[in-house]
Amino acid sequence: MLWLIESAQRILGMRGRDMPDREARWDRDGAAHGKFYRDYLPDQNKRYSCVHCQAHLAFHDDIISKSFHGSQGRAYLFNEVVNVRTGPAEERILLTGRHSVADIFCASCKTTLGWKYEYAFERSQKYKEGKFIIETIHMVKDNGWDLMAQ
């Protein structure tokens, strides 16, 4: 029951674009406690969610670029994401050169969503380090989109 209270406090304490604390999120990833607690993003911002389980993934405002491609089509580069787990890093040759990347998985349904750039070997690609790629086939627009069209 305590986790429910803490979760509600965390949700109510978030303002605007505040993201949950990254270190606290990894402490709750299920490895140590056997349970995963979803992070919920506030309703006042447009956001993306996992198309498979509706877990919140990222704010629309955290998109850096929509000009990326993954193995299954279009992908977006995000500055911050929530409710993902990271696999081991490995070197890959991508369209923009050699990178060290780690696959990212939805922490709720375990679907592979994309990858995280751990290290860029080329100077011109350094801006990607620590950023996340999510393929558009795995996410859905979740909140506030209808209001923006009016």
pLDDT tens sequence across 77-125: 999 999 999 999 999 999 899 999 999 999 999 999 999 999 999 999 9
For 23, counting Cβ atoms within 10 Å of its Cβ (0-12 exposed, 13-18 middle, 19+ buried), the class is exposed
pLDDT one-digit tens code per residue, 52-69: 999 999 999 999 999 999
**Cα→Cα distances 137→29, 75, 131, Å:** 24, 8, 19
pLDDT band at 6 (very low <50, low <70, confident <90, very high): low
Domains delineated in the chain: 44-149 (2.170.150.20)
Q: Exposed/middle/buried for 124, CB within 10 Å: 0-12, 13-18, 19+?
A: exposed
- Is the pLDDT confidence value at 24 over 70? no
Question: 138 is written with which tokens?
Answer: 């795995």
Query: Taking 70 as the threshold, does the pLDDT of residue 34 lie above it?
Result: no
